[in-house]
Structure 1
Amino acid sequence: MIEELVDSFASCDIEVVAVEELSLPLTQEGKHRILVVPSYNIAEMLEEILEEEEKSLAEVVDRELKEVHSLSIVDTFRRIAESILVDADLPLEQKNLEGKSFEDIYAAYALVWEGHEMLNEKMAVREEKIKIETEATSVLTTEWVREKIEAADDVIILTLPAGSGYEAPLWVPMGGYNECPLPVYQAAVFKHWEEQYHVTPLAVTQDKWVLQAGTRPLTYEAALRLSKEHFIFCQYVLERFDTLGHYADYLMENNEWDFWWD
């Protein structure tokens, strides 16, 4: 599997590292170093893309970047929400998000969980904040990598130039299945978060992205907006938190974001 991935990444700046020699976090001034945990899913997606396109991965990324740059962030969230709502048991007029604002898109998306306590936007009280802070630990450890790796003893480190970390989902495609957004939408969202919170991707597996935020929301209102963006992007972010409000509190105190899809 590693060999197939290395072949697919032929046009990329990569390094193959044994897990026991891996040093985290991966930092290098002026560059984005992203940990790619090898998986059959990523290998197969890359192979399918390159066979179908009959182009190098760099050429495919260049083409998809044009779509990323053409998308507004509201339109991106609209498309992600629509992909979830298409199968929801809701009237057609509530599924139609064309021309809607972000808040209207979120309101329609939230109808899928209408009445659920997790949609509560109330700020956490002191005792709840202590619980959130206690449970907030980094997922990115060598032990975590060993648990995630499939049939391999090595990982791949992908290096991208400064300012282009948001391109990572195009270089390492995972998504477009179940509730996981297409790589081009992932890249558009990462670009938005990079501009807003200086976010860079740290690691990717077959079903997870780990991101690092350079700054945090300064107000609870901004944190709540961000938590709604995260929820549309990946509904599973709320599995570790009681409510949307609790998650907003987490985002005001922590720089590591992780998203995984079932």
Structure 2
Amino acid sequence: MVEYKRPLQIREVPIPEPHGEAVLVKIGGSGLCHSDLHLMSGERPKPLPLPFTLGHENAGWVAAVGDSVQSVKVGDAVAVYGGWSTHPDRFTWLGMEQLTDVQSWVGIGTTGGYADYLLVPSYRYLLPLNGLDPVEAAPLTDAGLTPYRAIKKILPHLYPGATIVLIGAGGLGQFGVQYAKALAPACQIIVLDINEEKLAMARTVGADVVLNGSRDDVIDQVKRLTEGEGAQGIVDFVGSDATMAQAAALAGRRAKVVLAACVRSRSAMPSLRM
């Protein structure tokens, strides 16, 4: 990226050399995330140093290692965890690098994987692919992890027979259905979206009920399906004013609502409806 709001360009740059714990990864797949479009539009609070290489969903093969690396070797197929920390802080010490300064994240604060090679600061951020194709594995490092964490957040509020509502059946939502089915098999899974094709796909991957979220009676439909109780776990993968209002209206007593989307700064959730 050489200029905001302009197409990306191909540039020739030197191949970095790994030292210490660092590992050089030859990229086999790098996912295009919706957040990349926000970065390209210049919506990041702190401007990026241009030119800048995007790409935070990455997988490939180990091409070279630093002299302190022992757990991976050249040729290993790996996925690259993107929420890394380039300096120690309290989140790093707690093993929560994803909460560290965003300036450290690959493709968001540091050079990303829209390239032939990516320098990873530590072998600890690499996971073996165990036979997965790097092209298929790359999106799992973000699009796969985001809904997984969202579903984990609602688990303490669930019980056998409880209802989970997932709003949005795009890429994250489809992962969310599968995680919910695996982690809460005794719960009813309802998916809302305005795209019938996405709803049909959600049913094939495990949704019990799919509903068109644009219908005026969608709240009443969910209430009927839950015998008036509402949902105990709700994940909004869209983040619009309309979907957040739906999430609030569908929340039952002691429900957990998780927002797992990039939202506009003025979006708001009507708490009085919860």
TM-score when normalising by structure 1: 0.25
Q: Which has the higher contact order (CA 8 A, sep 6+)?
A: 1
TM-score when normalising by structure 2: 0.24
- Structure with bigger strand share is 2
Larger radius of gyration: 2
- Structure with bigger helix share is 1
